[in-house]
């Protein structure tokens, strides 16, 4: 036995066909599965390194994407500020331009005044010798009053100047209007205003001048040409010079309502030789001048490239976002700037947090992927993946169903976000826009439908967002569609419904637009048919009474004119007109022999006419009008007959108008037993009945309509020709008291 054991050990150690015994070398221990794989592959496993490299590459790509995404968001924030500052610059420059244009027009009108041109023309003809001017004192008195009134109305008054007193005290107002002859001598002025020297050359001049006493002054110079002379340079017979403090009105115009003052400045700039002249800031301050070649100076960039936008430096060297707009009325530029640190503070903080979160998310995702790879895909992960796929499939099916439903609706359905961009559009909306719905997404509505068509919709969508309530636009009329007949305008009704806020859509609004063109054309056709029927009925009734043939037409026209004069709605205007036309339709029940009888009527005949005329409303009962025509007739005829409860204050406004119109037309028309009254006599009669029979407001509208709208001559000359019809028939139906 002692000789066998060594041989056995040797065989075990040297025989390659025998598997090694792990217990033979305790230091090596047992072999794990990875060691076994490495032993089988003949070297280290490369797969962990490959997966690690992939994770590292994914992490690098994720970090690059994060930085790129943050940079994109930063660019978007800059574009938002570009739009915001551009909107402020455009609105402020337009406001300043409008104000300067109004000032120019005021002075130009004064220079074109016939009295101004006459006096200066006479002075020019006599070589400046005032003794040779006709009624010089009278002309100067009138012109000085004209200058004073114009200066007071247009603001060319130096309110800071001390009052002018009869003492030897210095009084040199810096504001006023003056007339100068070609030699620069003052012919007349307001408030003792003495302008400086005239500008070189001819033509109109507008300039801003600095004054130590009053700050910024607006100076306007307009040439005056002879009455029969040529309006050309060198042919001036005088000048109108106006000057007024401009700092306060310009600062007010430069201030944007609702704009926070912190970090945002609005400047009025001009180029002064090689310098940028900071004339005025919205807060009222002045900034002096800086060299135009100052590196990255915002003012120089705004003057050189009005309309541009960029990152520059302000007068203090701070970084600002700035843009400018050049004025049309003067060589001036409005610049709006915002401190970069203030404007983008929230954006930078948000982007910093976003970057940190995204980087953290990438790190966590990488760690999770490593763990998942290490331990393999678990059953739970596979189940979750299946669930997610199922949910995605269901969402896709719901999306397709929603698209199918909306695309087959006759209404245009869109969703607009807070910036006015399309986030959803159905097929009908795409057809009306003339483009595919996919191409509409992400585009601003003004770019797709045009600024004019989009303005109303965007305004109502903004109202719906602010109030949180649905807003309906009952009527919107657009030009005819391409290929449609002329006059077939398109009529739309829209509903603007706020969408619950979400991370994807933000504060969006659902816009449902219905095309009502066919319905409105049918309604217009029915209205025309009703009007034709009314006209035919009126002609039939008036034909039976030739002595008052035009009475209904004239009452209808006058009632419509008074309703328009009182500013009533279209519905009330049409109600007054139709009621005026139909007020005498009850004549159809009056015998024609009675209507055409000459001379006075008996009491019984008068009662018959009155009762027949009061039947107009009953005859029309049951006919559907857009307005309260029947009720208007009831009230007007009740008031005409003096029934209780028919005082003007208790009547509908169209009924009050009809009472006055009917009475006036009857009074200014000839009758068998009297001649027609004059307009003044008729107005006096009607004014005597104010309160008892007629409404004061309607009577005032009648007087204004006749006197201020050049209608008096029409009614003086347009009364009916003298006739011999039945007096009571016209009195009872046409409001004449006899």
User: Residue 530 pLDDT > 70, yes or no?
Assistant: yes
Tell me the β-bridge partners of 490.
478
Question: Is 583 within the bounds of a domain?
Answer: yes
Question: Is 550 within the bounds of a domain?
Answer: yes
Domains contained in the chain, number: 3
Are residues 591 and 500 part of one domain?
A: no
Confidence bin at 598 (pLDDT 50/70/90): low
Q: What domain range is 179 assigned to?
A: 112-159+172-251
Are residues 481 and 605 part of one domain?
A: no
pLDDT, one tens digit per residue, over 552-580 is 888 889 999 999 999 999 899 999 988 88
Question: Is 359 within the bounds of a domain?
Answer: no
Task: Decide: 338 and 45 in contact? Cβ < 8 Å.
Answer: no
CATH number at 504 reads 3.30.450.20
pLDDT, one tens digit per residue, over 633-667 is 888 877 766 665 557 777 899 989 988 998 898 88
User: Residue 6 pLDDT > 50, yes or no?
Assistant: no
Task: Decide: 497 and 510 in contact? Cβ < 8 Å.
Answer: yes
Could you tell me which of 703, 413, 664, 733 has the C-alpha nearest to residue 565?
703
Are residues 531 and 466 part of one domain?
A: no
pLDDT, one tens digit per residue, over 106-148 is 889 998 888 888 888 888 888 878 888 888 888 888 888 898 8
- Provide the Cα torsion 133, 134, 138, 140; round to 10°: -20
CATH number at 539 reads 1.10.3210.10
Confidence bin at 482 (pLDDT 50/70/90): low
Are residues 570 and 511 part of one domain?
A: no
Q: Who wins on pLDDT, 376 or 448?
A: 448
User: Residue 614 pLDDT > 80, yes or no?
Assistant: no
Are residues 710 and 571 part of one domain?
A: yes
Show the CA angle centred on residue 549, arms to residues 544 and 555, nearest 5°.
Answer: 125
Are residues 448 and 543 part of one domain?
A: no
Are residues 469 and 615 part of one domain?
A: no
Confidence bin at 215 (pLDDT 50/70/90): confident
- Provide the Cα torsion 87, 89, 95, 99; round to 10°: -170
Are residues 719 and 575 part of one domain?
A: yes
What string of DSSP letters covers 405-470?
HHHT-SSEEEEE-TTSBEEEE-HHHHHHHTS-HHHHTTSBHHHHH-HHHHHHHHHHHHHHHHH-S-
Q: Among the three residues 470, 485, 515, which one is the final residue of a domain in this structure?
A: 515
Are residues 719 and 583 part of one domain?
A: yes
Specify the pLDDT at position 352.
Answer: 80
Question: Is 601 within the bounds of a domain?
Answer: yes
Are residues 669 and 541 part of one domain?
A: yes
Question: Is 151 within the bounds of a domain?
Answer: yes
pLDDT, one tens digit per residue, over 712-733 is 887 876 543 333 333 333 333 3
Question: Is 273 within the bounds of a domain?
Answer: no
User: Residue 523 pLDDT > 80, yes or no?
Assistant: no
User: Residue 33 pLDDT > 70, yes or no?
Assistant: no
Question: Is 129 within the bounds of a domain?
Answer: yes
The mean predicted confidence, pLDDT, of the chain is 78
Spatial CB neighbours of 601, under 8 Å, sequence gap ≥ 6: 594, 609, 726, 727, 728, 729
Q: In angstroms, rounded to a whole number, what is the distance separating the alpha carbons of residues 628 and 653?
A: 11
User: Residue 370 pLDDT > 80, yes or no?
Assistant: no
Distance of CA 93 to the CA centre of its chain: 17
User: Residue 631 pLDDT > 50, yes or no?
Assistant: yes
- Mean pLDDT for 273-282 is 88
Q: Among the three residues 515, 548, 577, which one is the final residue of a domain in this structure?
A: 515
Spatial CB neighbours of 202, under 8 Å, sequence gap ≥ 6: 223, 232, 233, 234, 235, 236
Report helix, strand or coil for 240.
strand
Beta carbons within 10 angstroms of residue 420's beta carbon? 17
Question: Is 729 within the bounds of a domain?
Answer: yes
Are residues 546 and 497 part of one domain?
A: no
User: Residue 4 pLDDT > 80, yes or no?
Assistant: no
What string of DSSP letters covers 116-180?
HHHHHHHHHHTTT-GGGSTTHHHHHHHHHHHHHHHHHHHT---TTSPPP-SSS-----S-EEEEE
Task: Decide: 273 and 281 in contact? Cβ < 8 Å.
Answer: no
Q: Among the three residues 233, 251, 269, which one is the final residue of a domain in this structure?
A: 251
Neighbour-count burial of 176, counting CB atoms closer than 10 A to its CB (0-12 exposed, 13-18 middle, 19+ buried): buried
Are residues 689 and 549 part of one domain?
A: yes
Specify the pLDDT at position 101.
Answer: 92
Q: Who wins on pLDDT, 248 or 542?
A: 248
Among 190-194, 219-223, 388-392, 544-548, whose mean pLDDT is lowest?
A: 544-548
pLDDT, one tens digit per residue, over 327-349 is 998 899 999 998 888 777 777 78
Report helix, strand or coil for 550.
coil
Say which DSSP state 41 is in.
Answer: H
């Amino acid at each position: 036995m002692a000789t066998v054991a060594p041989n056995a050990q040797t065989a075990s150690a040297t025989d390659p066909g025998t598997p090694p015994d792990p217990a033979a070398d305790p230091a090596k221990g047992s072999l794990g599965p990875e060691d076994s794989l490495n032993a089988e592959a003949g070297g280290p496993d490369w797969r962990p390194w490959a997966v690690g490299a992939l994770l590292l590459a994914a992490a690098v790509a994720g970090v690059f994407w994060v930085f790129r995404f943050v940079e994109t968001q930063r660019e978007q924030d800059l574009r938002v500020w570009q739009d915001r500052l551009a909107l402020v610059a455009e609105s402020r420059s337009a406001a300043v331009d409008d104000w300067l244009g109004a000032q120019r027009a005021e002075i130009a009108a004064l220079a074109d005044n016939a009295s101004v041109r006459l006096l200066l023309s006479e002075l020019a003809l006599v070589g400046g010798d005032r003794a040779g001017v006709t009624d010089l004192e009278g002309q100067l008195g009138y012109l000085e009053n004209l200058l004073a009134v114009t200066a007071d109305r247009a603001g060319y008054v130096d309110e800071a100047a001390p009052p002018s007193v009869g003492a030897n005290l210095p009084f040199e107002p810096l504001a006023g209007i003056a007339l100068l002859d070609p030699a620069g001598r003052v012919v007349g002025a307001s408030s003792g205003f003495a302008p400086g020297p005239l500008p070189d050359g001819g033509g109109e001049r507008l300039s801003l001048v600095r004054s130590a006493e009053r700050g910024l002054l607006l100076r306007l110079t307009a040439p005056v040409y002879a009455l029969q002379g040529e309006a050309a340079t060198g042919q001036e017979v005088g000048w109108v010079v106006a000057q007024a403090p401009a700092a306060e009105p310009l600062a007010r115009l430069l201030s944007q309502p609702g704009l926070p003052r912190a970090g945002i400045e609005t400047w009025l700039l001009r180029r002064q030789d090689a310098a940028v002249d900071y004339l005025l800031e919205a807060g009222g301050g002045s900034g002096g001048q800086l060299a135009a070649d100052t590196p990255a100076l915002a003012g120089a960039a705004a003057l050189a490239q009005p309309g541009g936008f960029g990152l520059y430096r302000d007068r203090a060297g701070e970084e600002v976002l700035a843009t400018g707009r050049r004025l049309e009325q003067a060589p001036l530029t409005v610049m709006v700037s915002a401190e970069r640190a203030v404007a983008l503070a929230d954006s930078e903080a948000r982007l910093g947090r976003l970057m940190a979160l995204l980087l953290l998310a990438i790190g966590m995702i990488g760690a999770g992927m490593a763990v998942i790879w290490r331990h393999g895909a678990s059953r739970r992960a596979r189940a979750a993946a299946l669930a997610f796929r199922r949910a995605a499939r269901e969402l896709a099916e719901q999306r397709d169903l929603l698209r199918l439903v909306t695309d087959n609706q006759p209404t245009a359905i869109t969703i607009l976000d807070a910036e006015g961009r399309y986030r959803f559009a159905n097929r009908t909306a795409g057809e009306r826009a003339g483009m595919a719905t996919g191409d509409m997404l992400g585009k601003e509505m003004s770019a797709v439908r045009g600024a004019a068509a989009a303005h109303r919709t965007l305004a109502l969508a903004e109202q719906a967002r602010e109030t949180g309530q649905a807003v309906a636009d009952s009527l919107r009329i657009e030009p005819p569609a391409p290929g449609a007949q002329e006059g077939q305008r398109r009529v739309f009704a829209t509903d603007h419904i706020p969408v619950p806020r979400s991370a994807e859509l933000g504060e969006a609004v659902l816009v449902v637009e219905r095309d009502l063109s066919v319905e409105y054309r049918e309604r217009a056709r029915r209205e025309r048919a009703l009007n034709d029927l009314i006209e035919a009925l009126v002609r039939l009734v008036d034909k039976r009474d030739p002595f008052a043939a035009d009475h209904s037409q004239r009452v209808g026209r006058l009632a419509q004119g008074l309703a328009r004069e009182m500013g009533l709605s279209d519905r009330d205007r049409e109600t007054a007109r139709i009621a005026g036309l139909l007020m005498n339709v009850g004549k159809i029940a009056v015998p024609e022999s009675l209507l055409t009888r000459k001379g006075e009527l008996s009491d019984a005949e008068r009662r018959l006419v009155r009762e027949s005329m009061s039947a107009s409303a009953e005859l029309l009962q049951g006919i559907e009008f857009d307005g309260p025509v029947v009720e208007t007739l009831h009230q007007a005829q009740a008031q005409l007959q003096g029934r209780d409860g028919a005082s003007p204050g208790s009547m509908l406004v169209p009924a009050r108008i009809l009472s006055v119109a009917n009475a006036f037309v009857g009074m200014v028309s000839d009758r068998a037993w009297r001649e027609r009254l004059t307009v003044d006599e008729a107005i006096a009669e009607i004014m005597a009945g104010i309160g008892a029979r007629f409404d004061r407001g309607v009577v005032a509208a009648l007087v204004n309509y006749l006197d201020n709208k050049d209608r008096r001559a029409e009614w003086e000359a347009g009364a009916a020709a003298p006739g011999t019809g039945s007096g009571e028939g016209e009195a009872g139906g046409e409001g004449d008291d006899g």
